[in-house]
Amino acid sequence: MTAFGDAFRGRRVLLTGHTGFKGSWLALWLHQLGAHVHGYSLAPATRPSLFALADVESTLASHVLADIRDADTLTKAMATARPDIVFHLAAQPLVRASYQDPTLTYATNVMGTVNVLEAARRCGSVAAIVVVTTDKCYENREWAWGYRETDALGGHDPYSASKACTELVAASYARAFFGSGPLLATARAGNVIGGGDWSEDRLIPDADRAVRAGAPLIIRSPRATRPWQHVLDCLNGYLMLAARLLAGDTACARAWNFGPDAHAVQTVEQVLQRLQQHWPKLHWECPPATRQAPHEAGFLHLDASLARQGLGWQTMWPIHIAMQETARWYADLREERSDARTLLASQIARFTQDAKAGLA
């Protein structure tokens, strides 16, 4: 891709969370870009899993199944991989799961990040680090405008609060320990969609399961509004940022939002209506609200002006294309028209061509 060229060719990359949804996409993309990818993660959390279906393991230089809470094993893996750059994606990523086990959520997302940064600090090869957090790291006041990187951090639920803590940990390490390198940045993205996600309590995976089962999809908050973007747009931002860090651009060692344009900020019901255009068998129901339902944000939007101006990043696939590509991915796999690995590779190729055309 013209935005980062050969920045990753021959580079040694440590990718935590490589068995997850975004991690699997990123591992394969980095492999195609000529990187030597070393993965560190728990075993895939879902069945099916994109990691297994797409045989991502075959693209890896090394594959360690371990917990980021295990500091000793992580430190040894870092020392063995000797990466030029670290992408830290491993996390407990679900809001509702964080209510069920807040201790695990904080231990993984906060202390797990401390372990990653401490291992990188002890490894002399690391030149750049990208720590992935979330749009939910902001103190959400249900504003109608997008949050900027300078807005206050916070979080009502344990997941959101843990990611705000992750941002503070990263900022502390950057100031206290990484003054002369490595360059460290954090990346905050919105609700990511795309083929191969089968996590619980996520809209598109739940919709795919409902279609497969021939049952209605049960939704909790049809009017909840989120910034929806395709996984490749999100990862494109991570890669553009990482390339600048590897090039020694100190101005990029900071927090960045990677959120879609305003028209992609839509309600759950609007997204389902778009999806139904491609999956006619999809239907949904909204049961009466219960007092026991945990709090979830009603409105959330990111301002990605900094990434557009400072990195040249922009959304390549608007919401209608993102939904079309996501729906096609699941349908092609469901109806056995293609395998997962081919679907990933073909969508990365289409996205790359669209990005080159957009940057020309």
What is the rounded CA–CA span in Å between residue 216 and residue 201?
A: 15
| Nearby residues of 342 by Cβ (< 8 Å), 6 or more positions away | none
pTM for this predicted structure: 0.94
Catalytic residues: 159
Compute the mean pLDDT over every residue in the chain, rounded to the nearest whole number: 93
What is the rounded CA–CA span in Å between residue 164 and residue 153?
A: 6
Report CA-CA distances (Å) from 51 to 39, 188, 344.
Answer: 11, 23, 11
Q: What is the pLDDT of residue 360?
A: 46
Percentage helix, strand, coil for the chain under 3-state DSSP, each rounded to 5: 45, 15, 40
Q: What is the pLDDT of residue 120?
A: 98
In tens, the pLDDT along 101-120 reads 999 999 999 999 999 999 99
Number of C-alpha atoms within 13 angstroms, CB side, residue 339? 8
Q: What is the pLDDT along the chain (360 residues), one digit of tens a residue?
A: 456 889 999 999 999 999 999 999 999 999 999 999 999 999 999 999 999 999 999 999 999 999 999 999 999 999 999 999 999 999 999 888 999 999 999 999 999 999 999 999 999 999 999 999 999 999 988 777 889 999 999 999 999 999 999 999 999 999 999 999 999 999 999 889 999 999 988 899 999 999 999 999 999 888 888 889 999 999 999 999 999 999 999 999 999 999 988 788 889 999 999 999 999 999 999 887 655 556 555 567 899 999 999 999 999 999 999 999 999 999 999 998 999 999 999 999 999 999 888 754
What is the rounded CA–CA span in Å between residue 266 and residue 84?
A: 38
Q: Are 8 and 30 in contact (CB under 8 A)?
A: yes
In tens, the pLDDT along 261-311 reads 878 888 999 999 999 999 999 999 988 765 555 655 556 789 999 999 999
Q: What is the pLDDT of residue 295?
A: 57
